[in-house]
Amino acid sequence: METVPHTHDARAAVGPNPSGHPSAKESLLVVASNRGPVSFERDEHGKLVPRRGIGGLVTALSGVLFRDATWVASAITDGDREIAKRGRAASAGAGQRVRFVQIDHETYDGYYNQISNQILWFAHHYLFDVARTPRFGDDTVQAWERFVEVNQAFADVLAREADRHPVYLIQDYHLALVPAMLRERVPDARIIHFSHTPIAGPSYMRILPARMREAVIRGMCGADLLGFQSPIWAENFALNVRSTPGLRIDLRTLRARDDARTIPIRSFPVAVPGHVIRETAARPDVVEAAQEIEDWRGEPALLLRVDRLEPSKNIIRGFLAFELFLKQHPEWVGRVKFLSLLSPSREEMQDYQRYGEEALAEAERINKAFGTAKWKPIDVRVQEDFHFAVAAYTRYDVLLVNPVYDGMNLVCMEGPLVNERQGVLALSVNAGAYTRVGRHALGLNPFDIQETADAIRQGLEMPAEERARRARGLTRSILAHSPETWLLSQLDELDLVRPPAAGSDHETAQESDDAFGSFNDEVGI
């Protein structure tokens, strides 16, 4: 795990503030997320050793934390649980500590599998098959109680850090209730909640039982500041506030309001650490893997996708689009290979198992229909291998990133940074990243298989000059933001909302009520 030197400089430059209260940048950071930066497992000598956590959230946060950060996470492995039992924080490298919240298996299942993954993740990514699912019964009521319980356990552990006057950075839907619960325990706590996922609009969110939906929106509004990956998700959240009793919203300035406080709703797009990806691409083993990919590819062009094996990534429509492209442009048969690198995810969930099986079956069917003895159109590799993925990034001609909805999407920012073939990015307009880099990509409606097939063709056939121009534009846009600026801009904004000298009184709480509409106003869809 890394710390980023110039972040420390930025922190030092702020200096002590005259009031004696630390500014957000000077404060200890306490991060809370379901999955921690590391997980502990026993090695062959029986020693507990840390392994880096997986997923976009950990990737985004790991590189940017200042020294002296404490990370509070669920105990997921037996090793984590052993550490949690000892009641002490463990080192997570570079001056960071991780404190695990002890949760028994059954409670964790309700909180993580049933509510977080099957309900909240599906709601925010518009993944329900609404003619059939979801079906909320008494099992949902029970699972919800477990979700509440775990959020309370997090709030308890976080409250114990309060005497150090930290800034709390609460991450994602798993912990949506924590800001309000923590506020009850520590009324003057400084809290940011950040959502790495999309947020569904209010009519879709109304699929959820009212009690659950309102608790999520109110729980998040316990924060001082709400962060989202894209303005679209921030606006959707604001519309959800409008339909929540007891809360009001100013849709013009995107500020929510409860009885006492005003809560800005802002977008802070996460960025990728350019130097880390580029250093990875230069590693000898990665260069070797890139050569292997070259040898395997041969003459044909390379279409690449790199994703978690996850329904929101829209893998099946990606294969169908490739099939349609081959059907409509037989001149490309034998001249392009589609490498699909899929890392296993949430394997205990039936929906994921089914989706994975269906995706692999589609690839096989297309391979049978179009493949020859010498050419396999789609090569699917289900593996967790970041270095191999980076090697593949260097070699693609077209990178297909077509999620149905995605909070941000890091693949479409990592790839162009190390690609050596002026590869073209075909990008879903429903990825948060589209707002940032879309103008240099070929935008596509992820539900439109014809449009996706057209984007594949356009990418493969694009004249060299346009490829080069778009590739330059992509690199420039991606490097314009860094993970450090992502975090620092949240902390700067927090200082505006909760000025260091102001203690627990919110300046903004004095504002006039005129701008705020309540849930009685016309409700958006």
The residue ranges that bind ligand G6P (CB under 6 A) are 34-35, 55-57, 172, 196-197, 345-346, 407
Q: How far is the CB of 406 from ligand G6P (least distance, A)?
A: 8
Nearest residue relative to ligand G6P (C-beta) = 55
Q: Which is nearer to ligand G6P, 55 or 473 (CB)?
A: 55
Q: Which is nearer to ligand G6P, 143 or 290 (CB)?
A: 143
Quickly count: other Cβ atoms within 10 Å of residue 271's Cβ.
23
* Residues forming a β-bridge with 339: 304, 379
| Sequence-distant (≥ 6) Cβ neighbours of residue 478 within 8 angstroms | 271, 272, 274, 413, 416, 417, 436, 437
Q: Which is nearer to ligand G6P, 60 or 453 (CB)?
A: 60
Q: How far is the CB of 172 from ligand G6P (least distance, A)?
A: 4
Q: Which is nearer to ligand G6P, 294 or 348 (CB)?
A: 348
Q: Which is nearer to ligand G6P, 44 or 347 (CB)?
A: 347
Q: Where are the beta strands (DSSP E) in 107-261?
A: 167-171, 190-195, 225-228, 248-250, 255-257
Q: How far is the CB of 306 from ligand G6P (least distance, A)?
A: 14
Q: How far is the CB of 278 from ligand G6P (least distance, A)?
A: 22
| Sequence-distant (≥ 6) Cβ neighbours of residue 299 within 8 angstroms | 335
| Strand-strand pairing, 424-428 and 442-444 | parallel
Q: Which is nearer to ligand G6P, 111 or 319 (CB)?
A: 111
Our CA angle for 167, 168, 172, nearest 5°, is 145
Q: Number of helices (H) and strands (E), helices first, in the chain?
A: 20, 19
Six-digit token string for 67: 């020294």
How far, in Å, CA of 53 to CA of 429, rounded?
29
Q: How far is the CB of 73 from ligand G6P (least distance, A)?
A: 10
Q: How far is the CB of 158 from ligand G6P (least distance, A)?
A: 18
CA 264 vs CA 97, 155, 191, 261, 486: distances in Å: 30, 22, 12, 10, 16
Angle, to 10 degrees, between the axis of helix 386-393 and the axis of helix 411-418?
60
Q: How far is the CB of 35 from ligand G6P (least distance, A)?
A: 4
Q: Which is nearer to ligand G6P, 94 or 349 (CB)?
A: 349
Q: How far is the CB of 116 from ligand G6P (least distance, A)?
A: 7
Q: How far is the CB of 67 from ligand G6P (least distance, A)?
A: 24
Residues 363, 355 contacting (CB under 8 angstroms): no
Provide the sign of the torsion angle of the four alpha carbons 482, 483, 487, 488, taken in this order: negative
Q: Which is nearer to ligand G6P, 25 or 346 (CB)?
A: 346
Q: Which is nearer to ligand G6P, 233 or 396 (CB)?
A: 233
Residues 224, 494 contacting (CB under 8 angstroms): yes
